[in-house]
Structure 1
Amino acid sequence: MESGHVTTPFGRRPMTLGMLASQAAAREIEPGQSIDKWKLYRALCEAKPLLGITDRALAILNALLSFYPKGELSEENGLVVFPSNAQLSLRAHGMAEQTIRRHLASLIEAGLLIRKDSPNGKRYARKEQGGEIREAFGFSLAPLLVRAEEIERLAAEVVAERLHLQRLRERLTLCRRDVAKLIEMALEEGAAGDWSRIHLHFRDVVERLPRSPSAEQVAAALDELELLREEITNQLEMQVKAENHSGNAQ
Structure 2
Amino acid sequence: MTFKKSRLSAQHSNNITEKPEQPTDPWAIFRALRDAHTYYGLRAGQLQTLQAMLSFLKPGQGETVFASNSELCRRIGGIDERTLRRHIDRFVKLGFIQRHNSPNHKRYRVSASDGTCLSFGLSLAPFFERAHEILETAHQHQQDKRDRLFIHKRILSQLARIDEDQGASDLTAEFRKALRRKLNLTEYQALFARLADTMAEMSTAVDALETSILSANDGQNARQLSMSKKISIDLEREAINEPPKIGLLTNVCEEACSFSQHPIKTWNDVEAHARTLAPMMGINSHQFQAAREKLGVWKASSAIFILLQMGSKVKNFAAYFNSLTVGIHAPKFNPESLLNRMAQRTVVGA
TM-score above 0.5: yes
Distance change in 2, residues 1:136/1:241 (3 Å): farther
Deviation at 1:176, TM superposition (A): 1.2
Is 1:143 aligned to residue 143 of structure 2?
no
| 1:164 lines up with 2:152 in the alignment | no
Q: Which AA in structure 2 matches 1:112?
A: F
User: Are 1:114 and 1:140, in contact at CA under 8 Å, matched by a contact in 2?
Assistant: yes
- Checking the alignment, whether the CA contact within 8 Å between 2:110 and 2:118 is kept in structure 1 is yes
How many residues in Structure 1 have an aligned counterpart in Structure 2?
Answer: 207
Cα gap change, 1:92 to 1:138, in 2 (>3 Å):
same
- C-alpha contact 2:152 2:179 (8 A) present in aligned 1: no
- What is the Cα deviation at residue 134 of structure 1? 4.5
Q: Distance in 2 between the 1:118 and 1:236 partners?
A: 80
Match of 1:152 in 2: 135
Alpha-carbon shift at residue 206 of structure 1 (Å): 3.5
1:183-202 superposed matches below 5 A: 183-184=166-167, 199-202=169-172
SS in 2 for 1:203: helix
Larger Rg: 2
Alignment correspondent of 1:55: 44
Change (3 A) 1:209 1:163: closer
Q: Structure 1 residues 90, 142: CA separation in 2 closer, same or farther (over 3 Å shift)?
A: same
- Quote how far apart the aligned CAs of 1:205 are: 3.6
Q: Are 1:38 and 2:27 counterparts?
A: yes
- Taking structure 1 as reference, are residues 33 and 125 closer, same or farther at Cα in structure 2, changes over 3 Å only? closer
Gaps of at least 5 residues in structure 1 are 8-22, 71-75, 188-198
Greater shift in the superposed pair: 233-242 or 116-125: 233-242
Could you tell me how far apart the structure 2 residues matched to 1:170 and 1:207 are? 14
Distance 1:125 1:77, change over 3 A: closer
- Once residues 68 and 183 of structure 1 are traced to their aligned partners in structure 2, the CA distance between those partners, rounded to angstroms, is 63
Deviations 1:122-166 (A, max 9, x none): 11234689xx99543211111012111111111122111111111
| Secondary structure of the structure 2 residue equivalent to 1:125 | strand
* Letter paired with 1:89: C
Q: 1:147 to 1:100 in 2, by over 3 A?
A: same
Q: Could you tell me which of 200, 205, 216 is aligned with 1:230?
A: 200
**Cα gap change, 1:243/1:149 in structure 2, threshold over 3 Å: closer, same or farther?**
same
- Distance in 1, matches of 2:165 and 2:56, equals 60
In the alignment, the residues of structure 1 paired with residue 158 and residue 233 of structure 2 have an alpha-carbon distance, to the nearest angstrom, of 24
AA matched with 1:64: M
Partner residue of 2:173? Answer: 203
Deviation at 1:217, TM superposition (A): 2.3
Aligned amino acid, residue 116 of structure 1 = H
Kept in 2: contact 1:179–1:228 (CA 8 A)? no
Q: How does 1:89-128 map to 2 (within 5 A)?
A: 89-126=73-110
> Which segment drifts farther, 145-154 or 207-216?
207-216
SS of structure 1 residue aligned to 2:77? coil
Deviation at 1:50, TM superposition (A): 2.8
Q: 1:215 aligns with which of 185, 192, 205?
A: 185
1:83 CA drift (Å) = 0.7
**Separation (CA, whole Å) in 1 of partners of 2:187 and 2:83:** 36
* Identical columns (%): 25
TM-score normalised per structure 2: 0.51
- In structure 2, C-alpha distance between the alignment counterparts of 1:241 and 1:175, rounded to whole Å: 28
- Residue by residue over 1:29-70, the C-alpha shift from the partner in whole angstroms, topping out at 9 and shown as x without a partner, is 6xx841001001011112323333332221111000000113
Aligned partner of 2:62 in structure 1 is 78
Helix, strand or coil at the partner of 2:24 = strand
How much has 1:204 moved relative to structure 2?
A: 3.2
Amino acid at match of 2:49: I
Higher strand share: 1
Residues 43 and 152 of structure 1 are in contact (CA less than 8 Å); yes or no, is this contact kept in structure 2? yes
Gaps in structure 2 of 5+ consecutive residues: 1-6, 208-229, 240-350
What amino acid maps onto 2:151 in structure 1?
L
1:21-36 to 2 correspondences below 5 Å: 33-36=22-25
Matched, 1:4 2:13: yes
Give the counterpart letter for 1:5 in structure 2: N
- Identify the residue that residue 178 of structure 1 maps to in structure 2: 161
Contact 2:65 2:122 (8 Å CA) reproduced? yes
Please report the RMSD computed on the Cα atoms of aligned residues, expressed in angstroms: 3.3
Distance 2:136 2:185 in 1: 20
